[in-house]
Structure 1
């Protein structure tokens, strides 16, 4: 029977559709109900056929499984068929995935693959038809943070936990005078430690300039008022030195281009520039020197642990900006930082086991997360770095100029000879590059992708 005859006979008004039309199952899209007498679902493999000029043979390339389109021929039956057709049209216009209730396959998240067609006919009263092609919606997995982004996020996490630990150690509203004196003594000793480390080794001038302001603030901690802001004020003074070193070692911001450059009222004030390797060295040495100070007396133990954690955190941030020259250099920094962060986690676990007020369990988790992120970032970078290899000059041969070894190592790329020669002289500290004794072992930087 056609819809018009059914309507004329009055059967649709009082007879359930499921009993009237055999095989007509209810379905819906975005909550709009309809009936689905016909549906087709494409499944199989995504096979692409390739043709080649001058050849009769073809090649089939399998591009994976296909869970393709669901072609639906639906019916809207009833007195409200026009209103439901308008609701279905609005559902088709709605962006994003929607829920399709499939009589056989259940609930599916789908999108409309192409414009649907809604059909009315004067020969079919109280009935509308539609044709639609749906495709299964597969939620895109958010792109994983790149290794550098994960490292910087872990650095922020450990920074926050170190500051939280220090605030917890100084949280009591009325600290005894002995505790206040211990805080000032710790700050004074820490300032002397930073000054001593900055004066030793390379880049001492830039290190001292970067630490001048933070060290001046350490001496005035005892003058801070004991109020609700005391823990945050002490944390800011103690963490100023490692933060200043990390900021001084960070690459300068790129200059503005175009109208933005003209909008600058005045150029930024020059700041002390510190080599990232020098800053990381001082930060790690300071953290190692603070570790023995983590005695079982509060608040000195928590202060030392928090400051050591902050220093190692800033060292990790500095190493993230290092431009490693060789695979061996990156491996050495990875081992050094991993050992330092492991020491922070170990001390945090030891202090957490004592059950003191400032239990640093969260600090242990943040240090462990930073170790993981640091390993992921450095491992990804290590794979692209060249290695340091060794070349032994012929034993018993007369002294020869280093440029002969440079020609040998440059191979069929004459443009690299000068760079290789300069690397040989600098890396091996050759005092007489024109006469290198036979049997000498020369270290050189192997090109990336070539085994060292």
Structure 2
């Protein structure tokens, strides 16, 4: 997984193929209301039911002359996930062929499960795809998957530290998947109505305005330089196809909407440049990395601006449900990149880590509010259960990662300065028998308290790193 969490990494969910209004009587009846949207390798289907085996790997051992047995427990067992799905819509034959191709691909992939969320799985048995002349515009689909086991490498302290960071990135990637699914769901109709085309154009234009504003300051110039290409793509917009028979148009819209945040997150920790390379590969902006604090701050600002401007645009649109769905997808993918960029942050103290944790969690909570608003919108075609699960997992991963780091970070203490005195004297007094820490304590004290004149500090309370953890 790249640092940018590429918006088209292959883990995204697929197109619905047809709007709810085109699904016929089955979508409007009791059966339709009970079905939920799932996805395998970018091909979506309705999942009315699914089952999963789970338990322990127990071996029974019998001995001669005894009626009882001994049980050898070899650990937990993730059994098979058996899925029964329906591919419904005018394009059911096309999507059935896509599902057939997806079943033949090698390696693990993400199964977007409407109840269990995004699960990394492998197909262990041949899937079944069936058509019937008594079920026009519908194909039945069955497959059996098994979960991909977690990486067993290392079980010590440092493996847990790495695992929490990996979990943050994986949950962020799952959130990208859900953003893709939201956009593909909105743009799933074969014939794009004029109102929907207008919604796409307006959302792309609004997104361009947001990024133009948040990267327009002098401080954000390196970010704007790194995102020059996707900014240009946003400016050019998208070309609407005559017939929307696949997910190419939806993927193009997703790429345009997610290009800038992906570029910003990638620029935080760019790929290392080879020692021997062409001149243009080792000079210029390609080798310039962006401060993680600046990148994360810009991404968080963009998330909030996209939300507010998107709500205004939806209120003025003739197709508010589609606008909300497209904006939700764009916001989810931007939020995922903010989480990815924040994973590169270094914290000076426990308080700093907790502040960033609370900012990230508050951002994800706003997405939950947007989902609830979208779910209550008449005509909204975006499946929200998967996104809610991705948000929940991402919040849990962020909390676990910050908690893992807290024990290795110094605390911030408040020191009462009774009268005006030099900041160096305060730092020396706090350092005590560890004079080698004076410079670090003084630097942190100046930055943390915003001291204009460090030569004259106080009277008052000054915050600084705790002595025992400052070195």
Q: Which residue of 2 aligns with 1:170?
A: 187
Task: Measure how far apart 1:393 and its partner are.
Answer: 1.6
Task: Find 1:349's aligned residue among 372, 378, 384.
Answer: 372
**Alpha-carbon deviation of 1:141?**
11
Alignment of 1:230-269 (within 5 A): 230-249=249-268, 251-253=269-271, 268=281
1:434 corresponds to which residue? Answer: 455
Cα offset, 1:415, TM superposition: 1.4
In structure 2, distance between residues paired with 1:215 and 1:414: 50
Structure 1: runs of 5+ lacking an equivalent = 1-96, 112-139
Q: Aligned residue for 1:123? A: none
Counterpart for residue 12 of structure 1: none
Q: Is the 8 A contact 2:273 2:287 kept in 1?
A: no
* Counterpart in the other structure of 2:142: none
* Residue of structure 1 in register with 2:435 after alignment: 414
User: What is the count of residue pairs matched by the alignment?
Assistant: 316
Cα distance in 2, alignment partners of residues 265 and 429 from structure 1: 44
Equivalent of residue 373 in structure 1, options 397, 403, 411: 397
Offset of residue 236 of structure 1: 0.8
Task: Please say if residues 283 and 312 of structure 1, whose CA atoms lie closer than 8 Å, have aligned partners that are also in contact.
Answer: yes
- Aligned partners of 1:324 and 1:167: how far apart in 2? 38
Residues 182-261 of structure 1 aligned to structure 2 (within 5 Å) = 182-200=199-217, 203-226=219-242, 227=244, 228=246, 229-249=248-268, 251-253=269-271
Does residue 401 of the first structure (1) align with residue 401 of the second (2)? no
Distance 2:344 2:164 in 1: 13
Q: Distance in 1 between matches of 2:442 and 2:220?
A: 30
Q: How far did residue 110 of structure 1 move?
A: 9.2
Check whether the contact 1:179–1:299 (CA below 8 A) recurs between aligned residues: yes
* CA–CA distance in structure 2, aligned partners of residues 298 and 220 of structure 1: 24
Match of 1:106 among 58, 66, 69: 69
User: For the Cα contact (< 8 Å) 2:431–2:467, is it kept in 1?
Assistant: no
Asked whether 1:443 is paired with 2:463, we answer yes
- Aligned-partner SS, 1:356: coil
> Hey, what's the Cα distance between the residues in 2 that align with 1:449 and 1:434?
25
What is the Cα deviation at residue 416 of structure 1?
1.6
The separation in 2 between residues aligned to 1:108 and 1:423, in whole angstroms, is 59
SS in 2 for 1:179: helix
CA contact (8 A) 2:270 2:287 kept: no
Equivalent in 310, 317, 336 of residue 359 of structure 2? 336
Q: Relative CO higher for 1 or 2, CA cutoff 8 Å, sep ≥ 6?
A: 2
Aligned match for 1:382, one of 406, 418, 441: 406
How far the C-alpha of 1:235 sits from its partner, in A, is 0.7
**Alpha-carbon distance in structure 2 between the residues aligned to 1:418 and 1:174:** 66
1:108 Cα deviation after fit: 4.4
Q: Considering only aligned residues, what root-mean-square deviation do their CA atoms show, in Å?
A: 3.0
Displacement, 1:224?
A: 4.5
- For residues 69-113 of structure 1, give each alpha carbon's deviation from its aligned partner in whole angstroms, at most 9, with x where no partner exists: xxxxxxxxxxxxxxxxxxxxxxxxxxxx987433445254499xx
**Greater mean deviation of Cα atoms: 315-324 or 176-185:** 176-185
Larger radius of gyration: 1
Whether the 8 Å contact between 1:349 and 1:364 is mirrored in structure 2 is: no
In 2, Cα distance between equivalents of 1:272 and 1:149: 24
Equivalences for residues 37-186 of structure 1 within 5 A: 100-103=61-64, 104=66, 105-106=68-69, 108-109=71-72, 146-186=163-203
User: Aligned partners of 2:433 and 2:163: how far apart in 1?
Assistant: 36
Alpha-carbon distance in structure 2 between the residues aligned to 1:199 and 1:353: 35
Q: Are 1:323 and 2:346 counterparts?
A: yes
Instruction: State how far apart, in whole Å, the 2-side matches of 1:394 and 1:233 are.
Output: 63
Residues 1:282 and 2:305 are matched in the alignment: no
Larger CA deviation: 180-189 vs 287-296: 287-296
Distance 1:141 1:224 in 2: 43
TM-score where L is the length of structure 2: 0.61
Per the alignment, in what secondary structure is the counterpart of residue 215 of structure 2? helix
Which residue number corresponds to residue 304 of structure 1? 327
